[in-house]
């Protein structure tokens, strides 16, 4: 029995700590892989402290957390004083009301605050940003302060406030001299609790942040779109280590104290539960302090960074005309979709500011749908966004984009003709292509000896590779593959055709090992599967780390995707936004972007600067004939079709 | 002697309930006054009004002849020892006592001297650095007293300060408090519901009930000449019977007529008849007007406490001799032992 309970305990501990252990190990991995440990490096830590977006978001997070928790502590403490002096029944009622925000789902708090702010935005010119975030954070922080301070009033000696007055102190002085020291532990733990809740809040921040104030959790979330970067492992490891250290120090100190006095020990056990919480809060605070310190040290030159050469632009005069206007534009992009100085890349935003005097507020999202929702909510105003093809057609249809003034974007001339007047924006009035790519098949040469030419979409239905096949875990991409086999249009709205594609996917299910998205990297890298569909640009990056992986774009055809720069309605600085777009179309900038993301560039100037080897690479740059004849771009489907496809997809995944 | 504190027609109501019903009270300088009464009688409220923690709805609070209704507590030359001590947990013994002196910004030397004196007075020398939480109840009590007295108030208010102590400690502290009051020569206003404590320490006892002052007097007078049955009962246990004053010096109760020493009640007036348990002697039943059966006998150390049931009353009797349970006894008392009181209103 004793053995069993020990085993059980160790299982529980393993369950709790293995994920953290794995994360720590891989934060030192030389490659991005999450399954193969290929060597030891501190690179990710160095990069972490050079990742401008992470540092900026961290800065935002800290500013907001400090402001909100200080304000909440003052408000909450004052509230607790008031509540503690109320009659019994009023007190109970007020406490109930105060506690509602705690039990209320965060999403409700977030949405309702957003609606409130939108209401005031229209009437009082309230900008979404620091102010709205701080107000929102105060809202959910205050109840925790009240909750922490109230018990201190209950535990407090009765009459000590009167006793101080009796001994000659005025009311205010009495409060600070005798009441404050008594409630201080509660105030402090309330403060720390608020601070950490603010620090790691995602949901409420997501709804109430604007273009200027992205917090760390939101940034991290947007980075996960492609793959959790090991920088995040490094960040989490630092946090974990600091928490652990603080805990150990605290526990050792506590142990010493308890062995000193057994009486104290008895008292201790009662308070320990709440103390644990406090310790955790203290720890997180310490983490932040250390991060800030580390940041400062590193930016002060702890590590030497190579400063890349300045970017050459064609017509420098064009960029100076708005220099003295003190303009800031808000750019909303995919996570990790613009070089910002990581890995010795150029920081394009900084370059742009140096060149034009226009400041850039940069924030990130993870999906087209997230971008759409944010714009629809009207909470923040952006000047430049980068949606994908089908989303652009939807936004055009719903009148959410501003037509561009191409005279202001002379570099549009660099956009290859084949990317002009696309189906999603037939007159090229709304979008300037940014990157593009195709979908193909990743294969593991250790697990198959098929020739590349023979690999086509039907390999994903090959019984021989049953359970060695991975498939996309989203309906549109999966249906597209079935549709390619069936020779349908990828944009069909014909329900019979969709049903046929669904049937084909159902048939495939028995061979599929798993439906996954970015885990494809790891599963393929680790040799767990032989074939998987994926996006070309990402596959190229993957192949750099794994020699045994190859990538084919099936000859029968594929889906071509384009992400393009657009200006949403409500943009405040259209001219500056167009200047920014023009800047990103500078051949050298476009080259940096293509290098950084790994996707193909639609910019002819950049293309010409590529190595010949890359220019001729069939994966990144298939020939025009193939692109024209065999590739189809997604268009927006009607809501009805989307819903139908979603239902079929659910049927496929859940059905026997 | 001068009156140091006077309450004139002081009334307090709270939520429509009368807490103090226009009370009048004069407290002379250097007196040990005890406000005595059951809980809810208004004694603590009276103390809080003197301390300045509560403003009366009407009436005047006078201190050395000046009206101090609007003077906040921190400006009054009065200090309080609170019911649960209200010591400051974050300060040690020395700093607790020094609190008032520091507020007054006295020099460090003077603070040291005065706190030292006080610690000596309350027998806590050497406890300066101690933590409040590590003190016993009695020690905390002493710190609370020292903390108040160190300010040299003219009046010290004490709100049931000994309530939390055990019996033996309470007795000791009673004597000590009395001694302190006499040696310091300041006025003590003491609130308690313990009649024995009140009788032991006080120069003057103020008996209160339902927001009214029933009787003010020296302990002996209050005990021997309670103004009404409530006071009589509250100041020591009593047998209180319904009676009719037939005429001066003749009262009827329990179906019999008895001679007594009281007069001036008129004829055929309903009155309360009070007979103290220790004034009753047990006699053979044959010659007595009142006879009863002994229901219980309890040994109380000095005396036995017995309950004797008669037809319409249950008597409490203290005697040094025990009777047999269930035996029939006669109840005997003299005319001096019968106290006649006006029926209380309500």
> B99 contacts in A (CB within 8 Å)?
164, 167
Q: How many domains does chain A have?
A: 3
Cα torsion for A101, A104, A108, A110, to the nearest 10°? 40
Pairing outcome for strands A469-472 and A558-565:
unpaired
Assess if residue A18 is contained within a domain.
no
A168–B151: do the CB atoms touch at under 8 Å? yes
Q: Which residues contact A127 (CB under 8 A, 6 or more apart)?
A: A121, A210, A212
A168–B104: do the CB atoms touch at under 8 Å? yes
> B72 contacts in A (CB within 8 Å)?
165, 170-171
pLDDT tens readout for residues B137-169: 889 999 999 999 999 999 999 999 888 788 888
Instruction: Identify whether residues A86 and A175 lie together within a single domain.
Output: yes
pLDDT band of A293, cuts 50, 70, 90: low
The 3 state secondary structure assigned to A291-329 is: HHHHHHHHHHHHCCCCCCCCCCCCCHHHHHCCHHHCCEE
Instruction: Identify whether residues A551 and A570 lie together within a single domain.
Output: no
> B115 contacts in A (CB within 8 Å)?
none
Assess if residue A630 is contained within a domain.
no
- Classify B180 in phi/psi space as left (phi over 0), alpha (psi -120 to 50) or beta: alpha
Instruction: Identify whether residues A377 and A456 lie together within a single domain.
Output: no
Instruction: Identify whether residues A554 and A571 lie together within a single domain.
Output: no
CATH number, domain of A339, equals 3.40.190.10
> A160 contacts in B (CB within 8 Å)?
86-88
pLDDT tens readout for residues B279-329: 998 888 888 888 899 999 999 888 899 999 988 889 999 988 888 899 999
Q: Which residues contact A237 (CB under 8 A, 6 or more apart)?
A: A23, A24, A27
Query: At residue A243, does pLDDT exceed 70?
Result: no
Instruction: Identify whether residues A145 and A265 lie together within a single domain.
Output: yes
B99–A164: do the CB atoms touch at under 8 Å? yes
Name the closest residue on chain B to residue A180, using Cα atoms: B90
**CATH architecture designation of domain B3-229:** 3-Layer(aba) Sandwich (3.40)
pLDDT band of A282, cuts 50, 70, 90: low
> A178 contacts in B (CB within 8 Å)?
88, 90
pLDDT tens readout for residues B16-30: 888 999 999 999 999
Query: Which comes out higher in pLDDT, residue B238 or A568?
Result: A568
Position of tokens 């009181």? Answer: B341
A162–B82: do the CB atoms touch at under 8 Å? yes
A88-103 and A52-84 helices, crossing angle to 10°: 160
pLDDT at residue B345, as a whole number? 61
Instruction: Identify whether residues A429 and A356 lie together within a single domain.
Output: yes
Instruction: Identify whether residues A242 and A107 lie together within a single domain.
Output: yes
Instruction: Identify whether residues A520 and A588 lie together within a single domain.
Output: no
Domain residues of chain B, as ranges?
Answer: 3-229, 238-342
Q: Which fold has domain B238-342?
A: OB fold (Dihydrolipoamide Acetyltransferase, E2P) (2.40.50)
Span A547-563, average pLDDT: 90
CATH number, domain of A54, equals 1.10.3720.10
pLDDT at residue B91, as a whole number? 92
Assess if residue A55 is contained within a domain.
yes
Assess if residue A5 is contained within a domain.
no
B82–A170: do the CB atoms touch at under 8 Å? no
Per the structure, the complete domain to which residue A399 belongs is given by 316-435+563-617
Q: Which of B47, B74, B104, B158 to mutate to test the interface with A (most CBs of A within 10 A)?
A: B74
B147–A167: do the CB atoms touch at under 8 Å? yes
pLDDT at residue A195, as a whole number? 86
Query: Which comes out higher in pLDDT, residue B335 or A192?
Result: B335
Span A25-45, average pLDDT: 79
Q: Which of A89, A164, A167 to mutate to test the interface with B (most CBs of B within 10 A)?
A: A167
Whole-number Cα distances in Å, A435 to A537, A555, A602: 10, 22, 6
Name the closest residue on chain B to residue A155, using Cα atoms: B89
- Angstroms from B210 CA to nearest CA on chain A: 23
pLDDT at residue A384, as a whole number? 94
Chosen domain end from A269, A301, A333:
A301
Instruction: Identify whether residues A358 and A479 lie together within a single domain.
Output: no
Assess if residue A598 is contained within a domain.
yes
- Give percent of chain A above pLDDT 70: 89
Instruction: Identify whether residues A584 and A471 lie together within a single domain.
Output: no
Chosen domain end from A267, A301, A335:
A301
Span A131-139, average pLDDT: 91
Record the tokens describing residue A619, joined without a space.
Answer: 């994966």
Contacting B with CB below 8 Å, chain A residues are: 157-160, 162-171, 173-174, 178, 181-182
Structural contact between residues B20 and B56, judged by C-beta atoms closer than 8 angstroms: yes
pLDDT band of B14, cuts 50, 70, 90: confident
Assess if residue A627 is contained within a domain.
no
Give the Cα separation of A199 and A203 in Å (integer). Answer: 12
ipTM for the whole predicted complex goes beyond 0.90: no
Instruction: Identify whether residues A469 and A568 lie together within a single domain.
Output: no
B84–A157: do the CB atoms touch at under 8 Å? yes
pLDDT band of B101, cuts 50, 70, 90: very high
pLDDT band of B45, cuts 50, 70, 90: very high
pLDDT at residue A292, as a whole number? 63
Instruction: Identify whether residues A531 and A645 lie together within a single domain.
Output: yes
A159–B73: do the CB atoms touch at under 8 Å? no
pLDDT at residue A582, as a whole number? 94
Assess if residue A648 is contained within a domain.
yes
- Angstroms from A256 CA to nearest CA on chain B: 19
Assess if residue A40 is contained within a domain.
no
When the pLDDT of each residue in chain B is averaged and rounded to a whole number, the result is 90
Query: At residue A376, does pLDDT exceed 90?
Result: no
């Amino acid at each position: 029995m004793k053995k069993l309970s020990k085993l059980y305990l160790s299982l529980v501990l393993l369950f709790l700590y293995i994920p953290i252990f794995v994360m720590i190990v891989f934060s030192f991995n030389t490659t991005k892989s999450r399954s193969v440990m290929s060597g030891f490096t501190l690179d990710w830590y160095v990069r972490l402290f050079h990742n401008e977006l992470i540092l900026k978001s961290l800065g935002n997070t800290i500013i907001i957390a400090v402001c909100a928790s200080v304000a909440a502590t003052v408000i909450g403490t004052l509230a607790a004083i008031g509540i503690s002096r109320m009659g019994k029944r009023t007190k109970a009622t007020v406490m109930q009301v105060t506690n509602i925000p705690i039990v209320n789902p965060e999403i409700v708090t977030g949405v309702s605050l957003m609606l409130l702010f939108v209401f005031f935005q229209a009437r009082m010119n309230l900008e979404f940003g620091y102010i709205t975030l701080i107000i929102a954070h105060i809202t959910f922080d205050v109840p925790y302060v009240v909750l922490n301070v109230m018990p201190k009033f209950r535990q407090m000696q009765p009459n000590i406030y009167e006793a101080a007055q009796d001994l000659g102190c005025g009311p205010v002085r009495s409060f600070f001299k005798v009441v404050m020291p008594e409630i201080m532990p509660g105030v402090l733990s309330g403060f720390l609790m608020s601070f950490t809740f603010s620090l790691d809040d995602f949901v409420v921040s997501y709804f109430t942040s604007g273009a200027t104030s992205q917090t760390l959790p939101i940034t991290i979330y947007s980075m996960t779109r492609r793959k959790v970067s090991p920088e995040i492992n490094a960040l989490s490891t630092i946090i974990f280590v600091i928490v652990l250290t603080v805990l150990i120090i605290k526990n050792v100190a506590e142990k010493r104290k308890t062995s000193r006095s057994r009486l104290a020990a008895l008292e201790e056990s009662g308070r320990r539960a709440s103390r644990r919480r406090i310790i955790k809060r203290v720890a997180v605070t310490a983490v932040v302090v250390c991060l800030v310190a580390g940041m400062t040290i590193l930016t002060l030159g702890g590590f030497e960074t190579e400063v890349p050469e300045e970017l050459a632009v064609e017509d420098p005069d064009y960029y100076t005309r708005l220099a003295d206007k003190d303009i800031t534009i808000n750019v909303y992009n995919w996570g990790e979709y613009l070089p910002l100085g990581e890995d010795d890349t150029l920081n394009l935003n900084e370059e742009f500011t140096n060149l034009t005097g226009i400041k850039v507020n940069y924030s990130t999202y993870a999906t087209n749908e997230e971008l759409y929702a944010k714009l629809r909510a009207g909470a923040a105003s952006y000047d430049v966004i980068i949606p994908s093809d089908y989303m652009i057609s939807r936004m055009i249809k719903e009148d959410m984009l501003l037509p561009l003034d191409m005279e202001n974007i002379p570099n549009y001339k660099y956009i290859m003709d084949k990317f002009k007047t696309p189906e999603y924006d037939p007159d090229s009035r709304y979008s300037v292509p940014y990157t593009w790519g195709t979908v193909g098949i990743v294969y593991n040469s250790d697990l198959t000896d098929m020739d590349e030419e023979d690999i086509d979409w039907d390999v994903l239905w090959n019984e021989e590779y049953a359970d060695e096949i991975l498939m996309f875990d989203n309906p549109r991409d999966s249906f597209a593959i079935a549709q390619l086999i069936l020779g349908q249009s990828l944009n069909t709205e014909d329900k019979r055709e969709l049903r046929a594609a669904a049937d084909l996917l159902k048939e495939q299910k028995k061979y599929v090992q798993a439906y996954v998205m970015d885990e494809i990297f790891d599963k393929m890298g680790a040799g767990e599967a032989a074939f998987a569909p994926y996006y070309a640009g990402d596959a190229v990056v993957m192949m750099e780390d794994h020699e045994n992986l190859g990538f084919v774009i099936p000859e029968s055809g594929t889906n071509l995707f384009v992400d393009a720069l657009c200006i949403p309605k409500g943009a405040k600085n259209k001219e500056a936004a167009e200047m920014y777009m023009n800047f990103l179309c500078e051949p050298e900038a476009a080259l940096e972007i293509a290098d950084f993301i790994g996707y193909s560039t639609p910019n002819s100037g950049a293309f010409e600067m590529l190595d010949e080897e890359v220019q001729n690479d069939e994966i990144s740059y298939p020939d025009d004939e193939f692109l024209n004849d065999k590739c189809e771009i997604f268009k927006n489907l009607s809501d009805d079709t989307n819903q139908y496809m979603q239902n079929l997809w659910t049927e496929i995944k859940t059905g026997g | 002697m001068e009156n140091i504190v006077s309450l004139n027609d002081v009334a307090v109501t709270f939520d429509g309930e009368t807490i103090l019903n226009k009370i009048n009270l004069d407290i002379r300088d250097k007196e040990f006054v005890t406000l005595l009464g059951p809980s809810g009688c208004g004694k603590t409220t009276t103390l809080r009004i003197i301390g300045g923690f509560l403003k009366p709805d009407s009436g005047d609070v006078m201190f050395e002849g000046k009206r101090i209704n609007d003077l906040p507590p921190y400006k009054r030359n009065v200090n309080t020892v609170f019911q649960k001590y209200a010591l400051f947990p974050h300060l040690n013994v020395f700093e607790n006592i020094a609190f008032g002196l520091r507020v007054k910004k006295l020099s460090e030397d003077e603070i040291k001297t005065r706190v030292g004196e006080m610690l000596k007075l309350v027998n806590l020398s050497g406890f300066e650095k101690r933590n409040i939480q590590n003190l016993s109840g009695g020690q905390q009590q002493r710190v609370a007293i020292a903390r108040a007295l160190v300010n040299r108030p003219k009046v010290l208010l004490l709100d049931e300060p000994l309530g939390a102590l055990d019996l033996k400690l309470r007795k000791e502290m009673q004597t000590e408090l009395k001694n302190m009051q006499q040696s310091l020569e300041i006025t003590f206003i003491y609130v308690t519901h313990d009649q024995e404590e009140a009788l032991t320490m006080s120069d003057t006892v103020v008996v209160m009930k339902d927001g009214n002052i029933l009787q003010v007097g020296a302990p002996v007078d209050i005990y021997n000449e309670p103004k009404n049955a409530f006071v009589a009962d509250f100041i020591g246990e009593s047998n209180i019977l319904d009676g009719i004053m037939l005429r001066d010096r003749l009262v009827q109760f329990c179906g019999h007529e008895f001679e007594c020493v009281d007069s001036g009640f008129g004829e055929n007036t309903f009155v309360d008849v009070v007979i103290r348990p220790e004034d009753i002697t047990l006699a053979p039943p044959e010659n007595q007007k009142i006879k009863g059966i002994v229901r219980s006998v309890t040994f109380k150390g000095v005396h036995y406490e017995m309950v004797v049931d008669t037809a319409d009353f249950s008597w409490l009797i203290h005697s040094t001799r025990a009777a047999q349970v269930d035996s029939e006894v006669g109840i005997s008392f003299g005319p001096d032992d019968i106290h006649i009181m006006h029926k209380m209103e309500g």
